[in-house]
Chains A and B, each alone.
Chain A
Amino acid sequence: MSLPTRALITGRGIPVMENDIDTDRIIPARFMKTVTFEGLGQYAFYDARFNEDGSKKGHPFDLPQFQGGTILITGRNFGCGSSREHAPQALHKYGIQAIIGESFAEIFIGNCTSLGIPCVSLNKEDVESLAQLVEENPEVIITIDLNEKLVKTAEQNFYLEINESFRKSLAEGIWDTTAELLQNKEKIKTLYDKLPYTKGFVA
């Protein structure tokens, strides 16, 4: 299956500048009682956005100046906790196309890559400068360039880091792993037959 490249992503930013934002924050477990991923966008950051009476708390996702933003800007260890793909699905369905942060939890970054959402890291100073820039001028256009490994704005460029295999997958449009893995069906069978435990250790 050929997929679009995700080498260049351009949009406005939404800064959510906290560290260790866990997947229970991104989507509370009570919203995962579903057999599809449909409709999860409305629950993104739900308890951080809404009081129990439904009134808004003033989370960046609800501030007027950040409406229409597609690039989430955040701190360290974003997406820690559970493996729920509901978390990146909720962000994606809300409208997030890419995430810029200081660092990301490993399962989360894998889930995002499977959905074609690049998660790129900047160093602490740079991510703070970028967030500051967006706070001051929410209209700033940000481009994530995976070929040049840069986060670009009209005023300043920042060097980004991303695992090389994730970068390649996203830039070359080969982030549908199922399609890639299926190419090796014969090799899988050979390995299956070779492993002692697949035959209960009976030769």
Chain B
Amino acid sequence: MHLVDRLPSGQDQLFIGLHLIHEVTSPQAFQMLRERGLTVLYPQRTFATVDHIVPTENQKRPFADPLAEAMMQALEKNTKEFGIEFFSLDTEYQGIVHIIGPELGLTQPGMTIACGDSHTATHGAFGAIGFGIGTSQIRDVLATQTMAINRPKVRQIYVKGDLGKGVYAKDIILRIMADLGVEGGLGFAYEYAGPTISKLDMEERMTICNMSIEGGARVGYVNPDQVTFDYLKGRRYVPQGSAFEKAVEFWKSLASPPDAQYDDRYELDATKIEPMVTWGINPGHGIGVTQNMPRVDDVPEHEREGVKKAYAHMNFKEGAPILGQKIGVAFIGSCTNGRISDLREAAKVVKGKKIADGVRAFVVPGSKQVALQAEKEGLDRIFREAGFDFRGAGCSMCLAMNPDKLKDDEISASSSNRNFIGRQGSPRGRTLLMSPAMVAAAAIAGKVVDVREYL
């Protein structure tokens, strides 16, 4: 449906229905357009926001960081010059690019979506195909509304069984990463299916699709269903009235048929999933919270070097429990887990309690809309009374391009998506990935605990 042509290289030329841009990966692309005398072919199909560098504490312009200010100004100039709608800090719709797309109803089933960010698979939760792209490809999409791609194979990840109390979508995807590895998805698109996935709401599905890239799969999606259509109805960019009925009809026609063939299939029993915690330096280094960290000699030979490197950085003892590991920072937010349902689940754990002495704890809503809703529900007060900071919307400490950073070798409990060395702003910093409820419980206890005992 979106195939324009087969290119001389053999790649497919794919039409991109929705292009999302932000301040970090787009300025060079606009510069390339200027150098070549090109323009934006369909500016009405590109939308911009600012998220990565946004300070979450003081958002007054000019920003305190002149480099961040320069990036902000570049985006303002580029969107104005090329006629692209920009959800800036002056609007009520600014936020993390993968949170605002769905929120505004820009993300719709069957669309091809591209963004200069690897977590673009998030939009796959709607039965869209989201591609994370680099800056040269942003140039391609701006100039031609198309991009060159190689067709992936498809692996169906079939999840059955009910999730236990205190076990969330985040735990499903961390379990998948632990089982299939961080390179297991190379060359594949992941289709998440099965009764457990069908029962998840849209925000939970987004959490799962979001982390596909951490398993090596550039694309991840869930087939659209009534849950999807109900979420979209009435949103700003979704057609209304009879056009909506037509849209639903079209969207329904897109789902994989029951007899679809897959290049590979993986089945997971959700009843066996515990709250997950990562102990190492990639998102595949996850274990159930009651399990012990692996011994180097117990892991397959080809993973041993990586596991040794992980222990050298984390300074943890092999074979020790993760339960009880002290933390210094708690971060709730990111495109993985910065939505209203994430804040609600975390607030349930936090309500009426105080964070442990010596812990720095932040809630960074994924968008202004999430922040406004949280305030309406009084969640901001619950967090503040417990000792959390409740900040402005942005990517924040997920990748620490703003002032929110780990110090020295601090350990953070984080609801984000990557525990790579140095990811949260300190080259020696250490990140433990987990669900927002687990982060909330860790903030209260000052150490890794089992959230099931806090519910």
Q: Please state if A184 and B146 are interface contacts (CB–CB under 8 Å).
A: yes
Q: Please state if A202 and B137 are interface contacts (CB–CB under 8 Å).
A: no
Q: Which residues of B contact A55 (CB under 8 A)?
A: none
Known: A169-B9, A178-B36; 13 extra A-B contacts, CB below 8 A, are: A30-B425, A77-B182, A80-B182, A104-B186, A166-B150, A177-B7, A181-B143, A195-B1, A195-B2, A195-B17, A197-B110, A197-B247, A203-B246
Instruction: Name the distance in Å between A145's Cβ and chain B's nearest Cβ.
Output: 19
Q: Please state if B182 and A20 are interface contacts (CB–CB under 8 Å).
A: yes
Q: Please state if B148 and A35 are interface contacts (CB–CB under 8 Å).
A: no
Q: Which residues of A contact B120 (CB under 8 A)?
A: 83
Give the one of A80, A103, A104, A184 with max B CB within 10 A: A80
Q: Please state if B71 and A165 are interface contacts (CB–CB under 8 Å).
A: no
Q: Which residues of B contact A110 (CB under 8 A)?
A: 133-134, 137
Instruction: Name the distance in Å between A107's Cβ and chain B's nearest Cβ.
Output: 5
Query: Which residues of B, 375-433, contact A by the 8 Å Cβ criterion?
Result: 399-401, 418, 420-423, 425, 427-428
Q: Which residues of A contact B302 (CB under 8 A)?
A: 19, 76, 124
A181-B140 contact in complex given A47-B421, A83-B118, C-beta closer than 8 Å: yes
Stretch at the interface among A8-16, A65-73, A148-156, A186-194: A186-194
Instruction: Name the distance in Å between B362's Cβ and chain A's nearest Cβ.
Output: 17
Q: Please state if A105 and B134 are interface contacts (CB–CB under 8 Å).
A: no
Q: Please state if A81 and B420 are interface contacts (CB–CB under 8 Å).
A: yes
Q: Please state if B418 and A83 are interface contacts (CB–CB under 8 Å).
A: no
Q: Please state if B182 and A24 are interface contacts (CB–CB under 8 Å).
A: no
Q: Please state if B400 and A174 are interface contacts (CB–CB under 8 Å).
A: no
Instruction: Name the distance in Å between A63's Cβ and chain B's nearest Cβ.
Output: 19
Q: Please state if B134 and A178 are interface contacts (CB–CB under 8 Å).
A: no
Q: Mark B45-89, 1 if CB is under 8 A from A, else 0.
A: 100000001000000000001011011001000000000000000
Q: Please state if B108 and A33 are interface contacts (CB–CB under 8 Å).
A: no
Q: Please state if A84 and B134 are interface contacts (CB–CB under 8 Å).
A: yes
Instruction: Name the distance in Å between B374's Cβ and chain A's nearest Cβ.
Output: 26
Q: Which residues of B contact A201 (CB under 8 A)?
A: 239, 243-244, 246-247, 250
Complex CA distance for A124 and B71, rounded to whole angstroms: 41
Interface residue B261 (Cβ < 8 Å from any Cβ of A): no
Q: Please state if B45 and A198 are interface contacts (CB–CB under 8 Å).
A: yes
**In-complex Cβ contact of A202 among B116, B132, B239, B427 (8 A):** B239
Query: Which residues of B, 242-261, contact A by the 8 Å Cβ criterion?
Result: 243-244, 246-247, 250
Q: Which residue of A lies closest to B428 (CB)?
A: A52
Complex CA distance for A191 and B183, rounded to whole angstroms: 35
Q: How many A-B residue pairs have CB under 8 A?
A: 215
Q: Which residues of B contact A47 (CB under 8 A)?
A: 421-422, 427
Q: Please state if B216 and A106 are interface contacts (CB–CB under 8 Å).
A: yes
Interface residue B42 (Cβ < 8 Å from any Cβ of A): yes
Show 6 A/B contacts (Cβ-Cβ < 8 Å), sorted by A.
A37-B135, A77-B182, A85-B25, A107-B132, A164-B10, A192-B42
Q: Please state if B140 and A178 are interface contacts (CB–CB under 8 Å).
A: yes
Complex CA distance for A98 and B144, rounded to whole angstroms: 28
Query: Which residues of B, 114-143, contact A by the 8 Å Cβ criterion?
Result: 116-118, 120, 132-137, 139-140, 143
Query: Which residues of A, 128-165, contact B by the 8 Å Cβ criterion?
Result: 163-165
Instruction: Name the distance in Å between A93's Cβ and chain B's nearest Cβ.
Output: 13
Q: Which residues of B contact A105 (CB under 8 A)?
A: 183, 186, 216
Complex CA distance for A187 and B7, rounded to whole angstroms: 12
Query: Which residues of A, 40-93, contact B by the 8 Å Cβ criterion?
Result: 47, 52, 76-77, 80-85, 88
Q: Which residues of B contact A195 (CB under 8 A)?
A: 1-2, 15, 17
Q: Which residues of B contact A36 (CB under 8 A)?
A: 27-28, 31
Q: Please state if A111 and B134 are interface contacts (CB–CB under 8 Å).
A: yes
A residues whose Cβ falls under 8 Å from a Cβ of B? 18-20, 22, 24-25, 28-30, 32-37, 47, 52, 76-77, 80-85, 88, 103-107, 110-111, 114-115, 124, 163-166, 168-169, 172, 174-175, 177-178, 180-182, 184-185, 187-188, 191-192, 195-198, 200-203
Complex CA distance for A191 and B252, rounded to whole angstroms: 21
Q: Which residue of A lies closest to B246 (CB)?
A: A201
Instruction: Name the distance in Å between A56's Cβ and chain B's nearest Cβ.
Output: 14
Complex CA distance for A25 and B7, rounded to whole angstroms: 34
Instruction: Name the distance in Å between A124's Cβ and chain B's nearest Cβ.
Output: 8
Q: Which residue of B lies closest to A35 (CB)?
A: B27
**In-complex Cβ contact of A32 among B182, B187, B401 (8 A):** B401
Q: Please state if A80 and B36 are interface contacts (CB–CB under 8 Å).
A: no
Complex CA distance for A18 and B306, rounded to whole angstroms: 8
Q: Please state if B15 and A35 are interface contacts (CB–CB under 8 Å).
A: no
Complex CA distance for A203 and B135, rounded to whole angstroms: 35
Complex CA distance for A11 and B275, rounded to whole angstroms: 49
A33-B4 contact in complex given A24-B418, A83-B132, C-beta closer than 8 Å: no
A83-B25 contact in complex given A18-B305, A184-B4, C-beta closer than 8 Å: yes
Complex CA distance for A121 and B186, rounded to whole angstroms: 13
Q: Which residue of A lies closest to B426 (CB)?
A: A52
Q: Please state if B144 and A30 are interface contacts (CB–CB under 8 Å).
A: no
Instruction: Name the distance in Å between A87's Cβ and chain B's nearest Cβ.
Output: 9
A197-B53 contact in complex given A178-B36, A180-B148, C-beta closer than 8 Å: no
Q: Please state if B65 and A33 are interface contacts (CB–CB under 8 Å).
A: yes
Q: Please state if A185 and B186 are interface contacts (CB–CB under 8 Å).
A: no
Q: Please state if B137 and A114 are interface contacts (CB–CB under 8 Å).
A: yes
Q: Please state if B144 and A111 are interface contacts (CB–CB under 8 Å).
A: no
A81-B118 contact in complex given A188-B15, A197-B111, C-beta closer than 8 Å: yes
Q: Please state if A85 and B134 are interface contacts (CB–CB under 8 Å).
A: yes
Complex CA distance for A185 and B302, rounded to whole angstroms: 47
A187-B5 contact in complex given A107-B118, A195-B17, C-beta closer than 8 Å: yes
Interface residue B147 (Cβ < 8 Å from any Cβ of A): yes
Complex CA distance for A169 and B148, rounded to whole angstroms: 11
